[in-house]
Structures are given as structure tokens and as C-alpha cells.
Amino acid sequence: MAETLANWFVVHLQDSFAREAIVFIVSMMPILELRGGIIAGFALQMEWLPTFIIAFLGNILPIPFLLWGIRWVFKILKKTPLKKMVEWFEAKAEKKSGQIRKYGYLGVLLFVGIPLPGTGAWTGSLITVMLGLEPKKTFVVMIFGVILAGIIVSILSFGLLGSLGIGA
């Protein structure tokens, strides 16, 4: 799914935005995050290192705001017609919280760092806030998790797919 969404942004934004801006925007978005940004950079035929750095920065930028502000935002949104959406996000996070609940900060690292559907820094942030983990420690661990995810996705996109002649 991330590949399909990332490619949609590439196709629809490449005439209006610089390649780097597309990677950054895609990386900031929930669901897509760094994975989608790296896929977009690969599709835009960017070099690996600039793609990795831009995707990392785009993915990590929203995380402090989530860690320190999501409770406040959700509290406000629960008083609006968006209440059902907030409850859906909370239910989704609760359903995926087992690994983090069991392993704490190591669970955060693995949850963010192993790029599987439904995992990543956005969902990880929501789960850690719901579990009451310390935001500063969580942010540091998430930095390493996003780097790990970036390495894995880069190997798959630029390494494996590139060597097979797929995409670029």
C-alpha cells in the first residue's frame, strides 16, 4: 500500500514540486512515513543518501509534536464531531500495543524500525503516549528506529530493486 500511495504522490506532484520536496512531504504523512518517502525518492530516480536524509527528517519532524501534544489534541477533538475518528485511532493503537507494552523502549525500537504495515513512528508515538512512556526517551529511541527502518527500506528499494532493474 505504501508503494501505491507514494507513487500516486510522485505522479501527481512531480510537475509542481521539486523531487526533494515530494520525498519530504510523503515522509511526513502517517501511513507512508519514511518508507513511502524512500520509495518516492527511488521512483524519482534520486540518489540514495539525499533520499535517506530527507525522508528521515520528514518522518522525524512531526514526532515531538505527537509525543508532547497528542493527548491535548485528542482531548479537544473528542468534543467535536471528530470524536469517532479519535476513538478509531486509539483503538488501532491499542490493538498494536502488545510489542511495546511487553518490551518497553526495545519494543518501541522494533515497532518503529521494522517496516511492516501499520507500524512506524506515528502509530508508535500514539501507543507510547497511551502507555505513559517518557517522551524524551521515546523520541531518542524513535530516532534510531526510523534510521533502522530507513536502512531496511533503502536496501530493499535502492539495493535489491535497483539491482533487479525495477523502478529506476
Over residues 40-66, mean pLDDT: 95
* The model's pTM: 0.85
Query: pLDDT tens across 102-120, in order?
Result: 999 999 999 999 999 889 9
Residues 103 and 135 in one domain: yes
Q: What local confidence, expressed as pLDDT, does residue 168 receive?
A: 47
Annotate the chain with three-state secondary structure.
CHHHHHHHHHHHHCCCCCHHHHHHHHHHCCCCHHHHHHHHHHHCCCCHHHHHHHHHHHHHCCHHHHHHHHHHHHHHHCCCCCHHHHHHHHHHHHHCCHHHHHHCHHHHHHHHHCCCCCCCHHHHHHHHHHHCCCHHHHHHHHHHHHHHHHHHHHHHHHHHHHHCCCCC
User: How many structural domains does the chain have?
Assistant: 2
Residues 68 and 50 in one domain: no
Residues 83 and 142 in one domain: yes
Q: What is the domain range of residue 134? A: 63-147
Q: Does residue 152 belong to any structural domain of this protein? A: no
